[in-house]
Structure 1
Amino acid sequence: MELKARGCPHCHRSISIKTCSKYLLRGTAYTVRCDHCNTELALVKEPVPFKWCPFAGFASTVIPAEYFLVVQKLGLAKSLSYAALFGLFSVIIISILTFKRSYFKIADKI
């Protein structure tokens, strides 16, 4: 049976967004427990590869700030506030990508 995003491979039920949101703040190097069957789960792979994270941060905040500051000739406060909006938008997109690309496997016993 093919795995679905945020699905438990043991009971085949969807894992809550609250449980998956731990990966947004803490990273992917630990396990979580299924909400329904209490099976210990680990990610199959990183939902968003770490090597793209510095580029995403640069592209989502520094480039818009430079654009509004230099090209549009807005003030520093306005440029930073617009760049913060772009940064917030990119965080939302990365969160959605993380939730849609989270595939779990049963964690290996050590």
Structure 2
Amino acid sequence: MSTMQNVMMNLFEHAKRSMDDADMKEVANLTDSAADEARRLAAICESLGCLISSDGDNSPMAGSFRDSDEVSGLLWALGHSFDTIAAMVEVGDEATFHLNELRMKKASEGQA
């Protein structure tokens, strides 16, 4: 598990004890937010790919990402973003699981 995932899961584990259902539902919505973020990053990557490809075909070059420092910085930033998306999905799934457990417990207590 990555650093961002560890941090977010640790925060969630500590916070979930004091969260009400509304708060838990909001955290569970992280999975939807993660999907939106992944689509946004996909569009950015596609645009960057077009920019870099077009820049390589033209002289003089006008865009960024012409040397290894610029490209490596971009890739590190993208890696961090994808790590954050994975953490959002993991915490959102955990919150959904916790909500379902609470619902099942309430339902079984109501039938007893």
TM-score, normalisation: structure 1: 0.36
Which has the greater radius of gyration? 2
Higher relative contact order (CA 8 A, sep 6+): 2
Task: Specify which structure has the higher proportion of strand.
Answer: 1
Q: Which has the higher helix share?
A: 2
TM-score, structure 2 normalization? 0.36
